[in-house]
Amino acid sequence: MNQKTIVCIASEFKGNEFIEECSKAGWKVILITRKDLLDSPWAWTSISETKIVEKNATVEDYIRTITNVCGAQKIRKVVGLDEFDILTAAKAREHLQLNGMSSSYALRFRDKLQMRNLASKAGIPCPEFTGIFNTDEINEYLETARPPWIVKPRTEVSAFGIRKCETKEQVWQVIASLDTRNTWRDHPSQYLIERFIEGDVFHVDSVVYDGEVIAVGIGKYGKPPYKITHHGGVFTTSTFDYEDPDRKRLEQLNRHLIKSFRYEKGVTHAEFLRAQETGEFYLLEIACRVGGAYIANVHEYANGFNLWREWAKLEIEDEDMPYQPPIYRQEYAGICLALAKVDFPDTSHYKDPEIIYRVNRPKHVGLIFHTPIKSRLEELIRLYTERITDDFLAIAPAKEHYDDQ
């Protein structure tokens, strides 16, 4: 029997829909995850085998585990489900000589400095930035770029590890502080400096096939992720107005970005900032993965396609099962999500019929709303931001790295 086998690396609990889709198509799914995540509600009926690594496992530990799997069976695909697993999967493919994205190519979706250099060369606006390598170049940048600035990690995700600086002295203090840590991960050269721009942040989530964007969901964050991470509050995002002229601008920027990065097949999660002062759009980041915070679910209710499932279909397509693009619809959905001050928050008293999904995760409270009416979604997001704040909200200090969890 010519069994098709795919290995899914998951250093965080996510990607059940991806796993289910692969299994439904007849693929054998092997999950490689951390020992401490085994109690998570994985899609066990779709998983044929599970291999575990320790919580602090290195990239090499994951590759060794995958290589050991190869001793007993032939692997066709290796996929990383979390942001931190993308490079691990790429290195595993290189080690096993499997087809797929290389680690050097994957870095353009992980390393924000490389990302900005590539985008800038393609004419895509980015906040003024510089790498932290040469003292004279840094001083020249601080003389020409308008403050405030942020010092941010090149390869972390979301807003973790970002420091906002109002003065040149603060920038140099941050650099000096990083240098004293004496770890390569925290070496100043692993960071970049860019101008902090006030504005609204949008996410553009795409399904890409043969280098073309064939389905896209666009959302607008209530507060920029930076502010939620550093100051707390209720995270919200909702479908961006289909009639707003800026939607077309975002779609065009996103297509140009993906073409410039020569991305051929998969999913992407891009974030753009619209400057409050000028209305101009700037690239914040692009990743070749599904966005977090239940964004895939929001787009599924609004636009009729699930990014996890589309990604799986793209990964496993072949002559026997060619890829078919999803049917797209234009409705509205949004989410309110927050850390809860109780272990298992009870939201049964929230009874609006537009509540279509309730997040079931310890210490979290979250609701997804679905409606064909834009104004009703705005009303629900506003109402439940206030209700969740009053009923459940807990504030946790910002973490610099996911390692701290």
Cα(239)–Cα(225) distance, integer angstroms: 16
Q: How far is CA 21 from CA 27, 308, 310, in A?
A: 9, 8, 9
3-state class of 289 per DSSP?
Answer: coil
Cα–Cα nearest to 272, from 215, 188, 338, 206? 206
Model confidence at 241, in pLDDT bands (50, 70, 90)?
Answer: very high
- The pLDDT value given to residue 257: 98
Where is average pLDDT lowest: 192-201, 223-232, 235-244?
A: 223-232
> Per-residue pLDDT tens for 330-377?
999 999 999 999 999 999 999 999 999 999 999 999 999 999 999 999
Cα(147)–Cα(279) distance, integer angstroms: 18
Cα–Cα nearest to 155, from 121, 102, 103, 114? 114
pLDDT more than 90, % of the chain: 90
> Per-residue pLDDT tens for 306-339?
999 999 999 999 888 899 999 999 999 999 999 9
Contacts of 234 (CB under 8 A, 6+ apart): 222, 228, 336, 337, 338, 384, 385, 388, 389, 393
> Per-residue pLDDT tens for 368-399?
999 999 999 999 999 999 999 999 997 654 44
CATH number for the domain running over 128-195: 3.30.1490.20
Cα–Cα nearest to 34, from 47, 52, 9, 22? 52
Specify burial of residue 330 (Cβ count, 10 A radius: 0-12, 13-18, 19+).
Answer: exposed
The DSSP secondary structure of 169-203, one letter per residue, reads HHHHHHHHHHHTT--STT-GGGEEEEE---EEEEE
pTM, whole model, 2 decimals?
0.93
Helix-helix angle 307-316:295-303, to 10 degrees: 90
Cα–Cα nearest to 108, from 92, 127, 122, 94? 122
Question: Kind and range of the H or E element at 70?
Answer: helix 59-70
Cα(300)–Cα(329) distance, integer angstroms: 10
Looking at the domain 199-404, which fold is it? D-amino Acid Aminotransferase; Chain A, domain 1 (3.30.470)
Domain boundaries, the chain: 5-108, 128-195, 199-404
- Of the candidate CATH numbers 3.40.50.20, 3.30.70.360, 3.40.309.10, 3.40.50.720, the domain formed by 5-108 belongs to 3.40.50.20
